[in-house]
Chain A
Amino acid sequence: MSPTAVPAIHPPASRLPPVHPAWVRMSHALNALAVLVMVASGWRIYNASPLFGFTFPEAVTLGGWLAGALQWHFAAMWLLAGNGAAYLALNLATGRLFRRFLPLSPRGVLRDLAAALRGRLAHDDPRRYNQVQRLAYLFVMVDVALLVVSGLVLWKSVQFGMLRELMGGYEMARRVHFAAMAALVGFVVVHLAMVALVPRTLRAMVLGR
């Protein structure tokens, strides 16, 4: 590599490391795909025996019929769980989990939430998450972990007996799985709304800066 070529490719302003390292962007993309498939196929599975008094419109579900939806769900689960485990392991190993998401305090969350609602929350440094973002991202990590654990109970309630008891039995695990899905979808809605408000965050998550 010729040293003279460097300034042209990397202007001095972007000598800083990327906002999100490549492994974060990669795992974010895989996670988005896994969540899309899991939720859309999960809605079709739900429709086969609705827990509550409604079903999801077939047009927004994946799989076409129950067997197809189950095939998608039990294929994408490997991607969701495998990618999620790799993400958490790298987050811990690199110390990024502590740098980016901590410290976190209830007072800080309330302060930043109030500032955000008044339109006064600054986004000048995309490398630093405010307290509301920290809470939201930590929450969604825990929520996906809960989806995986409750999903394991639904998939193999006899083999994972201890997890089943932890969830309060098979039927309770169905409700936990549904509630955790609803929370995840709620997160995605807010997350996408925020991205629409601050589009350069999308650029940073795709290109790194």
Chain B
Amino acid sequence: MEKRSRLSASDADLALREARRLLTPRIERPERRAFLTRTLSLGGLALLSGCEITGQAGVEQALSAVSRFNDKVQGWLFDPDALAPTYPASMITRPFPFNAYYGVEDAPEVNEADYRLEIAGRVADRRPWRLADLRALPQAEQITRHICVEGWSAIGRWGGVRFSDFLARIGADTGARYVGFKCADDYYTSIDMATALHPQTLLTLSYDGRTLPREYGFPMKLRMPTKLGYKNPKHVQAIFVTNAYPGGYWEDQGYNWFGGS
């Protein structure tokens, strides 16, 4: 809400964002159509062409059902004590790759002075946080492997506040099912509570010893070496704890929700 009103101050910026919001589904749709066409052209499934619409919807539904089943399996497999491997500084990938659904020049510019991390949902203390206050909390650091859903991986060094410490500090209901994130680049995603409480899940404020740069998610990202890259939100503006499934930007388009590693 607050983000909206702030954005309307800059008409050009707002228009650009609206255009992207409107265009994104149209860009995605031809790909999805291609996905369905190819789905049916392979493996003799073309026989279903007599009932094309229901056939395609049926296949898509079945695949989504298996994906939701795989979410459950990943929840069962998830070991809260299993740590992702850590690496020496000499193994850090340089330069660490930039990756988003837009080019690096379109990464959002967040003003530190105006920035407030908003807290919502099943949380006792919903006061917003300034960056300076987050930096004043006890800090941790990790050198871990970031694995992208595309297959590539890169090793980076992130620092910040242990997310489990932060959740305890704000009095989050850790019995709730999900933690959701809203970002300055209109990205959004959500994670399971078990991963939120994992010791390597980091409310990240720095990269490689310096303030988290814009291309890696300034002012703050959530770093989880137990999840694929797209589950690690950048430019986080709001965190909320909920029992209602919040979905995510890529997840709503067909990427697996749990996205664990």
Contact = CB atoms under 8 A, between A and B. Distances in A.
Partners in one complex: yes
Interface of A: 33, 36-37, 40, 45-46, 48-49, 51, 61-68, 70-72, 74-75, 78, 154-159, 161, 164, 169-171, 174
Contact of A70 (B38, B39, B256): B256
B151 A64 contact: no
Contact of A66 (B36, B78, B83, B149): B149
A171 B91 CA distance: 13
B226 interface: yes
B66 A74 contact: yes
Contact of B35 (A37, A63, A155, A156): A63
A61 B153 CA distance: 23
Interface of B: 31-39, 42-43, 62-64, 66-67, 70, 74, 77-79, 82-85, 145, 147-153, 225-226, 250, 253-256, 260-261
Given A36-B42, A156-B261, 17 more contacts: A61-B38, A63-B35, A63-B38, A64-B35, A66-B150, A68-B39, A70-B256, A71-B67, A71-B256, A72-B39, A72-B63, A75-B62, A75-B66, A75-B67, A154-B151, A158-B260, A159-B77
B147 A157 contact: yes
B38 A67 contact: no
Contacts of B145: 157, 170
Contacts of A157: 84, 145, 147, 261
Contacts of A78: 66
A25 B15 CA distance: 61
Most interface-central of B42, B152, B250 (chain A CB within 10 A) = B42
Given A63-B38, A68-B254, A156 B66 contact: no
Contacts of B43: 33, 36-37
A171 B42 CA distance: 30
A67 B254 CA distance: 6
Given A70-B255, A71-B64, A74-B70, A48 B151 contact: yes
Most interface-central of B62, B78, B85 (chain A CB within 10 A) = B85
A171 B39 contact: no
A169 B155 CA distance: 13
A193 B84 CA distance: 45
Contact of B253 (A40, A67, A171): A67
B77 A48 contact: no
Contact of A49 (B62, B84, B151, B225): B151
Contacts of A158: 82-85, 225-226, 260-261
Contacts of A164: 85
Nearest to A48: B150
A50 B134 CA distance: 39
Nearest to B37: A64
Contact of A170 (B42, B64, B147): B147
Nearest to B254: A67
Contacts of A154: 151
B260 A159 contact: yes
Given A49-B152, A62-B42, A158-B261, A67 B250 contact: yes
18 contacts: A37-B43, A49-B151, A64-B34, A64-B35, A64-B37, A66-B150, A67-B254, A68-B35, A71-B64, A74-B66, A75-B63, A78-B66, A156-B260, A158-B260, A159-B79, A161-B82, A169-B85, A170-B147
A74 B254 contact: no
A156 B195 CA distance: 14
Nearest to B151: A49
A40 B77 contact: no
B77 A65 contact: no
Given A33-B43, A159-B79, A65 B34 contact: yes
Given A48-B150, A63-B39, A71 B32 contact: no
A64 B38 contact: yes
